[in-house]
């Protein structure tokens, strides 16, 4: 399997050559063929390159027959590419697109306007370049979703509980990150739902709702998943209110809440989502391993899923899909 590596937004990869090289070696050990975009390790201010340069990497990787296009990491400006993404070529070649956080913009646009399989899952630099290797749970889920097999999610038993500055690794100070027992999923509201999975990073998703890149109709009967790194409750409140005013919570059949900062931020998100859902009999499951955490799960955007929360039982699974890549 050929993996095309590109940087749709932040120009960070150039600062961490050892980490980048470790990820390339790991991919080769899996029998995968990594192909690095010409500007994937570029840096122009806070970006990896101009809009034209970043788009040229996508074009080149498609021409080289990449089976998967994986972003190096997120940032804030992937949405700069939406007007000129090669939708026709993406729809014709149908590579898998993979990433999370700011890459939400590209995933939602491609899933809406093409038939590309789009996965809200790991990026290259944070997850697949991890020392000494990627989290096994992250890789196992990614492989299953890539293969298009039906998949039942389960709460992961542990979570990484330590931040290590990548600059220390570049100086040779590498060590395995500490883990602790994970708190498990939290049922905020019982109910049953079945529908396509749509969602992503809250900050990135919000401006796209109602545009041609993510029309509100996509959320009709959908299971909405959300995550964000924002720590300020007032900002999270404003963003969630934006979704509420657009009719998002009235449209969906269920809600999955992924990673949000612990404490007041997380509590604010839970409280507000419950208030927006109101008396509707729809399930809301929180503290799911989606987004900025390790290990993380991979969520196939647009694929049909079932979310059933009853009597203390928690069930979340996706159906199989044809046309994705073997793991």
Tell me the two tokens of residue 18.
């050892």
pTM of the model: 0.96
Indicate left, alpha or beta for 306 from its phi (over 0: left) and psi (-120 to 50: alpha).
beta
pLDDT in tens, the chain (327 residues): 999 999 999 999 999 999 999 999 999 999 999 999 999 999 999 999 999 999 999 999 999 999 999 999 999 999 999 999 999 999 999 999 999 999 999 999 999 999 999 999 999 999 999 999 999 999 999 999 999 999 999 999 999 988 889 999 899 889 999 999 999 999 999 999 999 999 999 999 999 999 999 999 999 999 999 999 999 999 999 999 999 999 999 999 999 999 999 999 999 999 999 999 998 899 999 999 999 999 999 999 999 999 999 999 999 999 987 545 655
Instruction: Give the residue carrying structure tokens 């788009």.
Output: 55
Are both 2-149 and 185-318 of the same fold? no
Structural domain boundaries of the chain?
Answer: 2-149, 185-318
Buried b (16+ CB within 10 A) or exposed e, 155-193: ebeebbeeebebeebeeeeeeeeeeeebeebebbbbbeb
Which CATH superfamily does the domain covering 2-149 fall into?
Answer: Murein tetrapeptidase LD-carboxypeptidase, N-terminal domain (3.40.50.10740)
d(CA 9, CA 46): 8
CATH topology of domain 185-318: Glucose Oxidase; domain 1 (3.50.30)
In SS3 terms, the chain reads as CEEEEECCCECCHHHCHHHHHHHHHHHHHCCCEEEECCCCCCCECCECCCHHHHHHHHHHHHHCCCCEEEECCCCCCHHHHHHHCCHHHHHHHCCEEEECHHHHHHHHHHHHHCCCCEEECCCHHHHHCCCCCCCHHHHHHHHHHHCCCCEEECCCCEEECCCCCHHHHHCCCCCCCCEEECCCCEEEECEEEEEEEEEEEHHHHHHHECECCECHHHHCCCEEEEECCCCCHHHHHHHHHHHHHCCHHHHCCEEEECCCCCCHHHHHHHHHHHHHHCCCCCCEEECCCCCCCCCCCCEEECCEEEEEEECCEEEEEECCCCCCCCC
Inter-residue contact 256 to 282 (CB < 8 Å): no
Compute, in degrees rounded to 10, the torsion defined by CA atoms 182, 185, 186, 189: 170
């Amino acid at each position: 399997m050929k993996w095309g590596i590109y940087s749709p937004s932040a120009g960070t990869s150039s600062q961490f050559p050892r980490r980048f090289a470790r990820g390339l070696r790991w991919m080769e050990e899996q029998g995968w063929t990594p192909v690095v975009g010409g500007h994937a390790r570029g840096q122009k201010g806070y970006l990896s390159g101009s809009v034209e340069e970043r788009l040229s990497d996508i074009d080149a990787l498609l021409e080289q027959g990449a089976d998967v296009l994986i972003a190096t990491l997120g940032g804030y400006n992937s949405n700069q590419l939406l007007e000129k993404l090669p939708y026709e070529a993406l729809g014709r070649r149908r590579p898998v697109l993979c990433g999370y956080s700011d890459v939400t913009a590209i995933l939602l646009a491609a899933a809406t306007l093409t038939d590309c399989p789009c996965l809200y899952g790991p990026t290259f630099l944070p997850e697949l370049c991890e020392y000494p290797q990627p989290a096994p749970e992250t890789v196992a889920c990614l492989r299953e979703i890539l293969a298009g097999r039906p998949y039942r999610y389960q709460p992961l038993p542990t979570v990484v509980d330590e931040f290590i500055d990548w600059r220390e690794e570049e100086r040779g100070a590498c060590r395995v990150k500490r883990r602790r027992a994970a708190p498990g999923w939290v049922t905020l509201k019982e109910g049953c739902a079945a529908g396509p999975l749509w969602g992503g990073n809250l900050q990135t998703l919000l401006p796209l709702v109602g545009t041609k890149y993510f029309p509100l109709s996509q959320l009709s009967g959908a299971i909405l998943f959300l995550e964000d790194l924002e720590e300020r409750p007032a900002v999270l409140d404003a963003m969630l209110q934006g979704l509420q005013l657009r009719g998002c919570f009235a449209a969906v059949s269920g809600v999955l809440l992924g990673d949000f900062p612990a404490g007041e931020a997380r509590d604010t998100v839970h409280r507000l989502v419950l208030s927006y859902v109101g008396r509707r009999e729809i399930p809301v499951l929180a503290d799911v391993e989606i987004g900025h955490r390790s290990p993380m799960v991979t969520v196939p955007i647009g694929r049909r899923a079932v979310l059933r929360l009853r009597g203390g039982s928690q069930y979340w699974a996706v159906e199989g899909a044809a046309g994705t890549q073997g793991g």
